[in-house]
Amino acid sequence: MDSTVQPKLKYGLKLVGRTTSGLPIPGNQDQQHFLHPQPEKDVGWREIPAPNTLQGLTPELKSMILHFLSDSKSLLSLTLACRSFHHIYLSHRNSVLSAVAINSIHSNAISDAWAVHEASRIVKPGLPDEDPVPEFLGTFYFAEGLQVRAVAALTDPETSISLLQFHRWCVGPLLDDLTATLLSAHPISGLSDPKFSPLSLSEMRRISRALYRFQLYCILFKDQWVPGGLLPVERPSKLEWSEVFLDYLSPWEVEEMCCVHDYLYKQLWPMWEKMAYNDAELGEYAPAPYCVRTDLNNEHMAYLLSRGLPFLQTIILHARINGYDSYSQLIRDDLSIDWHPFTYAAGYYYPHHASNGIAEEYSTLTFQGDNNAEAPNIGWLWAHNYKMEYDPNSHLYSHLRAWGYALWDKVRLERWGILWEDPRSDIVRRNWEVLRQGNELEQGGA
């Protein structure tokens, strides 16, 4: 490292811009560093790099290192700390930003990340005859070559930086929290397992694309309350197009979304529950006595989930640091609006295209390895190879989603010993969350 420029590290290694839409903040210092980098002034001397330092590497190796960096923080650190890497970055800025975006988000999730970026820009609330969702799906998302078009779009540095920002401050933290939450306990015994193995690339791919598709679903199909009826009858196409969207995905890809949906629901529930029970002004929203933590049909929770990942990331992760009480007011204010907090399409995350006939078609699938991005993981095959009636809202699938059965690799599921159990058995159908909490209480009282 060049010691003469190392102090620059203190000027911010944070490529983070926070807006509710996840788009870049104008004037963000780090964004401006990447978009409009300034050449360094000639101070009249050049040090001779030692051959065994980063400075001594050939330009080709330095360029390769920049292109293989896994996140924007590493890129920012290296370009600010090392003069020669900064020069290489200036020469290959567009390709470096594109490569780092793909490495950070995962190549198989980059198309959905770009779709979220474009949907945030194109799809805006409007009148029924101005609904842009059908055109967006038909000409953009369903059109051939989405992956190729997404990679081509990253040649624009502003697009790359926008995707990197949203992934770093929103999707990335939620991915880490989901991993720590779902892998912290054995799915059958409930025993704590704090030293779980890191995610594989295939597991990161499944979780990343599920999070981005959840966000895309919220952008496209969130609807507002229309006075005069429970369903937004003026915009029935929302419901119809949400079915079309889910039909377009493979059943196991929708189950990945379901696992993400249930994780978010259960993380948000304590804050909603505390606010609903203790807030006199919103006492009417208090859950019914039979509405327990595993109940996924609360209409007000459905609305909060439909707000999307930026809102949920702020509520869920920051509340753990600042306390749940600090965010109860935010939830309360959000529900004190002029339309009913029930979003019909937001509760429609579960696959309705997997009727028994279609489920029979998929029952002949075999495990093709975890590296095949187009095939299901072995957990999905394990749960569906019993040819039972496929009810996506059944308690069986709810309990399987509680520990993310559709997200994990074969080696992790084999280590748990889960694949030797019948998914219909009582031991698998146990409430994983309650069992885990019970073990924590026993360990705490010991």
* pLDDT tens readout for residues 367-388: 888 888 888 999 988 887 755 4
Same domain, 61 and 193: no
Q: Is the pLDDT of residue 13 over 50?
A: no
In this prediction, residue 341 carries a pLDDT of: 33
CB-based contacts of 259: which residues, under 8 Å, 6+ apart? 210, 401, 404, 405, 406, 407
Cα(70)–Cα(80) distance, rounded to whole angstroms? Answer: 17
Residues 198, 83 within the same domain: no
pLDDT at 426: 62
Q: Is 289 inside any structural domain?
A: yes
Domain shared by 118 and 61, yes or no = no
Q: Which residue has the higher pLDDT, 234 or 403?
A: 403
- Cα 114 from Cα 194, distance rounded (Å): 34
Rounded mean pLDDT, 91-114: 90
Residues 220 and 99 in one domain: no
Q: What's the pLDDT score for residue 316?
A: 84
Q: Note whether 288 and 169 are same-domain residues.
A: yes
Q: What is the mean pLDDT of residues 302-309?
A: 81
How does residue 391 score in pLDDT terms, banded at 50, 70 and 90?
very low
Which residues, including other chains, have CB under 8 Å from residue 239's CB and lie 6 or more apart?
A: 231, 344, 345, 348
Structural domain span for residue 100: 6-39+47-105
3-state helix, strand, coil in the chain (%, to 5): 60, 0, 40
| Mean pLDDT of all residues belonging to the chain | 72
d(CA 414, CA 396): 20
Q: Give the total number of structural domains in the chain.
A: 2
Backbone CA torsion sign across 409, 306, 292, 252: negative
445 and 402 in a common domain? yes
71 is a domain residue: yes
Q: Average pLDDT in the 273-301 region?
A: 55
135 is a domain residue: no
* Structure confidence at residue 199 as a pLDDT band (50, 70, 90): very high
Q: How confident is the model at residue 170, as a pLDDT?
A: 94
- Whether 215 and 242 map to the same domain: the answer is yes
Looking at residue 116, what is its pLDDT?
Answer: 95
pLDDT-derived band of residue 80, with 50, 70 and 90 as boundaries?
confident
Q: Is the pLDDT at 171 greater than 60, yes or no?
A: yes
**Residue 390 pLDDT level (bands cut at 50, 70, 90):** very low
What pLDDT is attached to residue 279?
Answer: 57
Q: Report yes or no on 266 lying in a domain.
A: yes
d(CA 331, CA 276): 10
Confidence of residue 218 (pLDDT cuts 50, 70, 90): confident
430 and 341 inside one domain: yes
- Residues ≥6 apart with Cβ < 8 Å to 56: 49, 50
When mean pLDDT is compared across 65-69, 76-80, 245-249, 389-393, the lowest value belongs to 389-393
Report the pLDDT value the prediction gives residue 62, as an integer from 0 to 100.
87
Q: Which helix (H) or strand (E) is 400 found in, with range?
A: helix 395-402
The answer to the question of residue 140 being in a domain is no
Q: Same structural domain for residues 265 and 383?
A: yes
- Are 357 and 387 within one domain? yes
Residue 143, domain member (yes or no): no
Question: What pLDDT is recorded for position 69?
Answer: 87
Average pLDDT over residues 324-337: 56
In a domain, 147, yes or no: no
pTM of the model: 0.78
Query: 311 and 358 in one domain?
Result: yes
pLDDT: which is higher, 49 or 141: 141
Question: Which pLDDT does position 309 carry in this prediction?
Answer: 92
Highest mean pLDDT among 64-68, 239-243, 289-293 belongs to 64-68
What is the model's pLDDT at position 32? 57
Question: Residue 117: what pLDDT?
Answer: 94
Q: Which residue has the higher pLDDT, 359 or 302?
A: 302
Q: Are residues 58 and 117 in the same domain?
A: no
Boundary residue ending a domain (63, 78, 105):
105
Residue 129 is assigned to a structural domain of this protein: no
DSSP assigned state of 316: H
